[in-house]
Amino acid sequence: MSTSAIQSRRHQLREQDLLCLLDCYRVGGTTLATIVQRFFAPKAVARMKHEPLSRLESILPNLSQTRFVHTSYHYATIHRLLPRKPVCITLLRHPLERTLSLYRYQVQSMAWFHVRPVTLSDFLQNTNGVRNMGKWNNHGNLYNHQAAVLAGIGHTRGEQMSDALVVAIAKTHLDSCAFVGLTERFDDSLRLLCYTFGWSPIEHYISQNVTPAELRPEITPAQEALILKQNALDLELYTYAQQLFTRRLQQMEAEQALLGV
């Protein structure tokens, strides 16, 4: 079979291209960002957190020379804010593991301030004085946050759209990303990332912003079922991302086999 018969996984970045990492929070985005930054000059890298517009106004004019942006903004917002259409990459995590990571992070944060931590039950049931917002609960970006980021919607707008539409939009945007990785297959994701952009392989990295494993809570079957129910949109999107990732990884390996790499 010729290489032309296989859809190439390569994406040659041009000098004017703006690479954008959409970070869905507690998925390993900070670690991935520190790795990607190696391939760009420090002055060409920018971090865009959720900021008041007054602060953003001082950042945006300086993006003309930026080549890599690490952001926690949603898909539609970042396309509206950036000076040119970005080449998007992202990382998704199984919603059960992501939720437990969110909980561990909150417990760790409370310990820093000597505050009694909430139980996992309270965290999931949202009884710690936090207003319940249903499937779009914004308590630590708890429910369906990955679907919201990729669909490019806010939690308020998400309540006005059907679940099917939100997931369909998120899948379409995921398809358009030059690279989609999985937290649970981080090393394989790095292989695909480097092959996609023609970068040298990553031989060493340090995981960033990781919560201690000993903070992982005991979880009951009922709590696990609740997490998966509340994150049904994220679970559907993650399953789709797994299929997309596997297909792209197989395409990469087929290319490598033909080229003798």
The domain over range 3-259 is classified in CATH as 3.40.50.300: yes
- Range 206-215 average pLDDT: 76
The structure's pTM equals 0.88
121-137 in b/e burial notation, b at 16+ Cβ within 10 A? eebbebeeeeeebebbb
CA–CA distances in Å: residue 258 to residues 30, 41, 151, 251, 253: 34, 33, 36, 11, 9
User: How many angstroms separate the CA atoms of 47 and 69, rounded?
Assistant: 6
Tokens of 147: 């679907």
Contact between 9 and 256 (Cβ < 8 Å): no
Query: Which helix (H) or strand (E) covers residue 129, if one does?
Result: none
Q: What is the pLDDT of residue 192?
A: 98
Chain centroid, CA 204 distance in Å: 21
Any idea where the domains of the chain sit in the sequence? Answer: 3-259
pLDDT digits (tens, 9 = 90+) for 109-166: 766 565 666 889 888 876 443 333 345 454 447 889 999 999 998 655 656 789 999 9
For residues 89 and 19, the answer to whether their CB atoms sit within 8 Å is: yes
- CA-CA distance, 207 to 82, in Å (whole number)? 28
Torsion angles phi and psi, residue 71, rounded to 5: -140, 150
Token pair of 20, please?
A: 């954008």
Per-residue pLDDT, averaged over 71-78, amounts to 92
Q: How far apart are CA 130 and CA 260, in angstroms?
A: 56
